[in-house]
Structure 1
Amino acid sequence: MWHLITAPILLPMLTALLIMLPPIHYSPVRRRWLSIISSAIQLVLVATLLLKVQQDGAVHYAVGNWQAPFGIILVADTLSMVMVCLTSFLAFGAICYGSAGDDEKGSFFHPLFQFQVMGINGAFLTGDLFNMFVFFEVLLIASYALLIHAGGKNKTKAALHYVILNLTGSAIFLFALAVLYGTLGTLNIVDMAAKVALLPAADVMLVKSGGLMLIIVFALKAAVLPLQFWLPATYSSASAPVAALFAVMTKIGVYALLRVYTTIFGAEAGALSGMAGSWLLPVGLATIVLGSIGVIASNDFRKLVANLVLVSVGTLVSLVALQTELTAAAAIYYTVHSTLVAAALFLIADLIANQRGKAGDRLVSGRRVSQPVLLGIMFMVGAMTVAGLPPFSGFIGKLMLLQAVVEPSSKLLLWSIVLVCSLLVIVGLSRAGSTLFWRVSGSDAGEGKAAPLQVFAVCWLLIASPLLVIFAGPFTELSQHAAAQLYPSGANAVSRHALAPELEVVP
Structure 2
Amino acid sequence: MSGAVLAFWGQHAPVLSVLLPSFTAVALLLLGDQGGLSPQGGGHEGQRLAWRRRLSFASALLGLVMAAALVARASSGELQVYELGEWPAPFGIVLVLDRLSALMVLLTYAVAVPVLAYACGGWDTHGRHFHTIFHFQLMGLSGAFLTGDLFNLFVFFEVLLIASYVLLLHGRGGARLRMGVHYVVLNLTASSLFLIGLAMLYAVTGTLNMADAALKVAALQGQELRLAQSAALVLLVVFGLKAALVPLYFWLPGTYAAASAPVAALFAIMTKVGVYAIVRVHWVIFGIDAGQASLTVQPWLLPAALLTSVLGVLGALAAHTLSRLVAYLTVSSVGTIVAGVALFTPQALSAALYYTLHSTVVMAGLFLFVELAAAQRGVTGDRLQPAPQVHEPVLLGVMMLFGAASAAGLPPLPGFLGKVMLLQSAADLVARVWVWTVVLGVGFLTLLGLARAGIILFWHVQPADGANPAGRSARLLAAPWLFMGMTVALAAAAGPVKAYTDALAQQITDKRGYAGVVLARQGGPDQPTTRPYDGRRAPTAPAAAPSAPDTRQEHRP
Give the shorter-chain TM-score range: over 0.9
Identical positions, percent: 45
C-alpha distance in structure 1 between counterparts of 2:57 and 2:475, whole Å: 11
Q: If each structure's helix is expressed as a fraction of its own residues, which one has the higher value?
A: 1
Name the SS for the 2:81 alignment partner: strand
- Cα distance change of structure 1 residues 302 and 479 upon mapping to structure 2, 3 Å threshold: same
Instruction: Report the alpha carbon displacement of residue 499 of structure 1 after superposing the two structures with TM.
Output: 4.1
- Indicate yes or no: 2:22 matched with 1:22: no
> Normalising by structure 2, what TM-score?
0.88
- Cα distance change of structure 1 residues 186 and 408 upon mapping to structure 2, 3 Å threshold: closer
C-alpha distance in structure 2 between counterparts of 1:505 and 1:153, whole Å: 53
Contact 1:62 1:505 in 2 (8 A): no
**1:289 aligned residue:** 310
**2:545 aligned residue:** none
C-alpha distance in structure 2 between counterparts of 1:459 and 1:282, whole Å: 35
Pairs within 5 Å for 1:190-209: 190-209=211-230
- Indicate yes or no: 2:375 matched with 1:354: yes
Please list every run of 5 or more consecutive structure 1 residues that lacks an aligned counterpart in the other structure. Answer: none
Contact 2:33 2:128 in 1 (8 A): no
- Which residue identity lines up with residue 482 of structure 2 in the other structure? W
**1:243 aligned residue:** 264
Name the SS for the 2:96 alignment partner: strand
1:206-249, Cα deviation, whole Å (9 max, x unpaired): 11111111011000100101111000000000001100110010
**1:497 aligned residue:** 517
**1:396 aligned residue:** 417
Instruction: Report the alpha carbon displacement of residue 14 of structure 1 after superposing the two structures with TM.
Output: 0.6
- Indicate yes or no: 2:137 matched with 1:116: yes
Contact 1:280 1:321 in 2 (8 A): yes
1:451-492, Cα deviation, whole Å (9 max, x unpaired): 2221221122111111011111100000101111111xx332
- Cα distance change of structure 1 residues 115 and 23 upon mapping to structure 2, 3 Å threshold: closer
- Which residue identity lines up with residue 493 of structure 1 in the other structure? G
- Cα distance change of structure 1 residues 171 and 434 upon mapping to structure 2, 3 Å threshold: same
C-alpha distance in structure 2 between counterparts of 1:261 and 1:352, whole Å: 41
**1:277 aligned residue:** 298
Contact 1:86 1:336 in 2 (8 A): yes
C-alpha distance in structure 2 between counterparts of 1:258 and 1:219, whole Å: 12
- Which residue identity lines up with residue 18 of structure 1 in the other structure? A
**2:444 aligned residue:** 423
Name the SS for the 1:106 alignment partner: coil
Instruction: Report the alpha carbon displacement of residue 187 of structure 1 after superposing the two structures with TM.
Output: 0.1
RMSD (Å) for aligned C-alpha atoms: 1.6
Bigger CA radius of gyration:
2
Contact 2:340 2:349 in 1 (8 A): yes
Instruction: Report the alpha carbon displacement of residue 148 of structure 1 after superposing the two structures with TM.
Output: 0.7
Contact 2:257 2:323 in 1 (8 A): yes
Contact 2:81 2:529 in 1 (8 A): no
C-alpha distance in structure 1 between counterparts of 2:439 and 2:249, whole Å: 19
C-alpha distance in structure 2 between counterparts of 1:116 and 1:70, whole Å: 27
Contact 1:63 1:71 in 2 (8 A): yes
**1:66 aligned residue:** 87
C-alpha distance in structure 2 between counterparts of 1:430 and 1:346, whole Å: 16
- Cα distance change of structure 1 residues 139 and 492 upon mapping to structure 2, 3 Å threshold: same
Pairs within 5 Å for 1:81-160: 81-160=102-181
C-alpha distance in structure 1 between counterparts of 2:341 and 2:245, whole Å: 13
Name the SS for the 2:76 alignment partner: helix
Pairs within 5 Å for 1:309-328: 309-328=330-349
- Which residue identity lines up with residue 20 of structure 2 in the other structure? L
Please list every run of 5 or more consecutive structure 2 residues that lacks an aligned counterpart in the other structure. Answer: 1-9, 35-44, 531-557
314-323 or 166-175, larger mean C-alpha shift = 314-323
- Which residue identity lines up with residue 227 of structure 2 in the other structure? L
**1:371 aligned residue:** 392
Instruction: Report the alpha carbon displacement of residue 421 of structure 1 after superposing the two structures with TM.
Output: 1.4
Instruction: Report the alpha carbon displacement of residue 125 of structure 1 after superposing the two structures with TM.
Output: 0.6
C-alpha distance in structure 2 between counterparts of 1:16 and 1:450, whole Å: 30
C-alpha distance in structure 2 between counterparts of 1:158 and 1:505, whole Å: 47
C-alpha distance in structure 1 between counterparts of 2:112 and 2:390, whole Å: 27
Instruction: Report the alpha carbon displacement of residue 445 of structure 1 after superposing the two structures with TM.
Output: 4.9
- Indicate yes or no: 2:369 matched with 1:341: no
Contact 2:31 2:52 in 1 (8 A): no
C-alpha distance in structure 2 between counterparts of 1:231 and 1:478, whole Å: 31
C-alpha distance in structure 2 between counterparts of 1:323 and 1:254, whole Å: 14
- Which residue identity lines up with residue 515 of structure 2 in the other structure? S
Name the SS for the 1:55 alignment partner: coil
- Indicate yes or no: 2:76 matched with 1:76: no
Contact 2:89 2:518 in 1 (8 A): no
- Which residue identity lines up with residue 413 of structure 1 in the other structure? W
**1:222 aligned residue:** 243
* Corresponding residue pairs, total: 505
- Which residue identity lines up with residue 248 of structure 1 in the other structure? I
1:113-148, Cα deviation, whole Å (9 max, x unpaired): 110111011111110110000000000001011101
- Indicate yes or no: 2:26 matched with 1:4: no
**1:470 aligned residue:** 492
> Normalising by structure 1, what TM-score?
0.97
**2:75 aligned residue:** 54
Name the SS for the 1:38 alignment partner: helix
Name the SS for the 1:485 alignment partner: helix
